């Protein structure tokens, strides 16, 4: 990517409601009280540190509530809170951010009403705040292979085996864990050049998901019930490329915690959750992994998953053909990428082969201004030099809006005809 600077916010985008929700100071104070209680209850058990951190809640209207003051004066005291406005040039999202001269954990309002979901979300983002301090830096990775039928099939077999292990007795648990690790090893053997990408994603998002869920759980029974619920949720997901590690990380973290409660404090950058689990339970993988998975996969709903994934692959191929027609047509607008800040819905990230990657919903800030795609999608090229959006009309002026997207250009940028027959944004 040469000198291209990318600032990613990997989280779900939120859009303002037609009827904006009102948030009260006591309500926000209650959220911060929950946060403090969880940090106090943890007492450094998981990571060896107090997890309390500077924390922002941001409304869809970009109002900010914080638990501490900033350095540059954006936030003003309001009772026990600090309140201000979030700058337009920054992307609010569930993530971490540098704002007002300080580093923060950040969560978008409204948060889930259900207690477990709310608390696990907040603590997930808090772990992100501490990752660098724990020598667990964020990575770059590309898991587009999880659009492939075989990768999705054996990942879901792995999940089914782990799910069965949750409620099993010791002997059965070991049998299910061995099956899960074998499905994992077999998938890795099919895509050997993508193993490090999978591990990086599991570290970057799986570990925070484990932290969030284990701190929110009030009992082992609730922990397991939430993992079962998560499995059902992920079984319905069409897109696993940017989401699978959340569920995998929580599952592996749960089983590791049963044997080694301090496993996370000893986790090192690049560790493999599967290898750690294998060691913790003293499991030996079969010499012939393919033969073994062929012999046990029927017990984990292989036939149903195979039929489901075969049908999905046919639909996906037809969908890719339609998208290529859209993005290779002249009716497009192309924008250069140089200094990106972007937030997007990870459930809407879909690889399009050598064309690049489709982002269904995205908010992107660059030198030329702000682009918000609400629906319909945008295409980022494989080299990360351009983003392309459908544009059926001639774009005019510095604020351009269609039913699917809105583009606000800075004063020294405008749209001109492209050699392809479409349009592109250039600097005057």
Residue 182 in any domain: the answer is: yes
Indicate whether 333 and 190 sit together in one domain: no
Taking the alpha carbons of 204, 208, 213, 218 in that order, is the dihedral positive or negative?
positive
What residues make up the domain containing 331? Answer: 325-427
Indicate whether 189 and 163 sit together in one domain: yes
Describe the chain by its helix, strand, coil percentages, rounded to 5. 45, 20, 35
CB 361 within 8 A of CB 345: yes
At 317 the pLDDT is 92
At 21 the pLDDT is 67
Indicate whether 102 and 239 sit together in one domain: no
Indicate whether 44 and 77 sit together in one domain: yes
Q: Is 137 left (phi over 0), alpha (psi -120 to 50) or beta?
A: beta
Indicate whether 152 and 288 sit together in one domain: yes
Residues shown for the chain: 428
Indicate whether 177 and 295 sit together in one domain: yes
Stretches where the chain sits below pLDDT 70 are 1-21
In the chain, the number of structural domains is 3
Residue 312 in any domain: the answer is: no
CB atoms within 10 A of CB 258: 12
Residue 313 in any domain: the answer is: no
Angle value at C-alpha 125, between 251 and 343, nearest 5 degrees? 105
Q: Which two tokens stand for residue 93?
A: 């999202």
Indicate whether 365 and 285 sit together in one domain: no
Residue 101, helix vs strand vs coil: coil
pLDDT one-digit tens code per residue, 235-277? 999 889 999 999 999 999 999 999 999 999 999 999 999 999 9
At 15 the pLDDT is 39
Indicate whether 115 and 217 sit together in one domain: no
Indicate whether 150 and 296 sit together in one domain: yes
Site of tokens 């944004």: 425
Residue 233 in any domain: the answer is: yes
Indicate whether 110 and 192 sit together in one domain: no
Of 388, 376, 372, nearest to 328 by C-alpha is 388
Of 111, 97, 62, nearest to 83 by C-alpha is 62
């Amino acid at each position: 990517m040469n000198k291209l600077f990318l600032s990613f916010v990997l989280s779900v985008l939120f859009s303002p409601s037609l009827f904006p929700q009102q948030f009260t100071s006591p309500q926000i104070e209650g959220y911060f009280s929950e946060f403090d209680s969880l940090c106090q209850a943890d007492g450094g058990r998981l990571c060896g540190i107090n997890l309390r951190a500077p924390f922002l809640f941001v409304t869809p209207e970009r109002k900010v509530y914080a638990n501490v003051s900033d350095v540059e004066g954006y936030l003003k005291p309001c009772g026990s809170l600090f309140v201000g406005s979030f700058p337009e040039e920054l992307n609010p999202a569930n993530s971490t951010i540098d704002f007002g001269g300080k580093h923060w954990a950040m969560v978008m309002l409204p948060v889930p009403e259900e207690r477990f979901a709310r608390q696990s979300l907040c603590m997930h983002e808090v772990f992100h705040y501490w990752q660098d301090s724990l020598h667990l830096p964020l990575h770059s990775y590309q898991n587009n292979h999880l659009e492939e039928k075989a990768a999705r099939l054996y990942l879901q077999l792995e999940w089914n085996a782990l799910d069965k292990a949750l409620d099993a007795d010791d002997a059965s648990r070991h049998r299910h864990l061995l099956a899960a690790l074998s499905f994992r090893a077999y998938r890795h053997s099919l895509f050997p050049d993508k193993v490090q990408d999978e591990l990086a994603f599991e570290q970057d998002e799986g570990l925070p998901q484990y932290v969030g869920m284990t701190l929110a759980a009030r009992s082992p029974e609730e922990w397991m019930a939430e993992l079962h619920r998560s499995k059902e949720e992920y079984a319905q997901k069409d897109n696993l490329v940017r989401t699978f590690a959340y569920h995998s990380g929580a599952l592996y973290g749960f089983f590791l915690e049963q044997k080694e409660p301090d496993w996370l404090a000893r986790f090192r950058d690049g560790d493999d959750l599967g290898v750690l689990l294998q060691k913790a339970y003293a499991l030996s993988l079969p010499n012939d992994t393919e033969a073994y998975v062929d012999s046990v996969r029927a017990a984990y709903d292989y036939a149903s998953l195979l039929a489901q994934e075969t049908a999905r692959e046919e639909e996906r191929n037809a969908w890719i053909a339609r998208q290529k027609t859209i993005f290779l047509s002249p009716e497009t607008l192309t924008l250069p990428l140089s200094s990106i800040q972007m937030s997007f819905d990870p459930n809407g990230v879909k690889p399009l082969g050598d064309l690049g990657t489709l982002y269904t919903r995205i908010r992107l800030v660059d030198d030329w201004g702000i682009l918000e795609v609400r629906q319909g999608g945008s295409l980022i090229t494989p080299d990360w030099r351009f983003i392309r959006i459908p544009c059926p009309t001639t774009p005019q002026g510095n604020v351009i809006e269609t039913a699917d997207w809105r583009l606000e250009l800075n004063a020294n940028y405008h749209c001109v005809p492209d050699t392809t027959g479409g349009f592109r944004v250039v600097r005057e």
